[in-house]
Amino acid sequence: MAMVSDAAKPETAKRGKYATLLDPALWTYIDRVNAWYPPGMDLPVDKQRSVYDAMCRAFHAGIPAGVEASDGTVAAGSRAIPIRRYQLAGKAPKAMVVYYHGGGFVLGGLDSHDDICAEICADTGFAVLSADYRLAPEHLHPAAFDDALAVFEWVAATAGLPIVLGGESAGGNLAAGVAHATRHHPRPAIGQVLIYPDLGGPEPGGKESAGSYVEHAEAPLLTLSDIEYYRQVRS
């Protein structure tokens, strides 16, 4: 029997069980991402960052009208942590969202999530402070967490607004970690917004052998092997 290459298979066959589990609009997005990051692409970290940054620039939706952004830094010992603050012009915010970007603790920065943070500001009316942090493998765990915590401490000390912690993927992990570490702080976060956060981990023995680790081991955009790769790079 002749073998049919993956490229020659109907689109629904290549997508497997996810062909009907995910909406067409989401598949459009997945296909756009895969055009930049083909499944199985193996690149060194510096090349991954170049591709990721170029993809984010291509996806950038622009800054909503009325949102003002300004850059700064937070002093943390001998280092300066880059931050970007968003606020609606002429409107006093009722809360401050401290947002940590995703990227597997390896990719991303203030620019990659610029429009996302601006949209959160525009849609909520809250001030948003996007926090950069040191990336692996140059800076191993807990460097990213230390930076995330330092930014929270700075916001708590300098801003009188209620604090909401947010982030997606690796950033969701950082937001949850900061919320837990500061739960007895005089000014703890009043809430968290965690977007597909990385909160789990291997079972004793280092095996992912249950739940989504098995059911969605080959999920679009993030496979189990991807998770293991980023986990190893971070540590």
User: Contact at 8 Å (CB) between 127 and 95?
Assistant: yes
Cis peptide upstream of residue 137 (ω within 30 degrees of 0): yes
Alpha-carbon span 54 to 49, nearest angstrom:
8
CB atoms near residue 105 (< 10 Å): 28
Under the banding of pLDDT at 50, 70 and 90, the label for residue 3 is very low
Give CA–CA dist 132/5, Å, rounded: 42
Percent of the chain with pLDDT over 70: 91
| Pairwise pLDDT comparison (38 vs 71), residue with the higher score | 71
Which of 176, 209, 208 is CA-nearest to residue 98? 176
* Lowest model confidence (mean pLDDT) among 20-24, 68-72, 144-148: 20-24
ω into 186 cis (within 30 of 0): no
CA 41/CA 58 separation, integer angstroms: 19
pLDDT at 176 over 70: yes
Pairing of the two strands 96-100 and 127-131: parallel
Q: What angle do CA 38, 42, 46 make, to 5 degrees?
A: 105
**Nearest to residue 192, comparing CAs of 110, 83, 97?**
97
Q: Please name the helix (run of DSSP H) or strand (run of DSSP E) that holds residue 224, with its range, or none.
A: helix 224-234
* pTM of the complete model: 0.90
pLDDT attached to residue 11: 64
Give which of 234, 89, 113 is closest to 168, Cα–Cα.
Answer: 113
The SS3 assignment for 46 reads: helix
With tokens 């807990």, the residue in question is 142
Give pLDDT, residue 231: 86
* Host H or E run for residue 213: helix 212-215
Residue type for 8, please?
Answer: A
Report whether pLDDT(143) > 90: yes
Tens-place pLDDT, residues 66-97: 999 999 999 999 999 999 999 999 999 999 99
pLDDT for 20 beyond 70:
yes
Residue 101's CB is within 10 A of a number of other CB atoms, namely 25
The widest CA-to-CA distance across the chain, in whole angstroms, is 70
Q: Give the pLDDT confidence of 187-203 residue by residue, as tens digits.
A: 999 999 999 998 877 66
Answer whether CATH 3.40.190.10 is correct for domain 60-195. no
Span 40-67, pLDDT tens digits: 778 899 999 999 999 999 999 999 999 9
Residue 89 zone, left/alpha/beta (φ > 0; ψ -120 to 50; rest): beta
Looking at residue 139, what is its pLDDT?
97
State the chain's mean pLDDT as an integer.
91
Instruction: Tell me the domain boundaries of the chain.
Output: 60-195
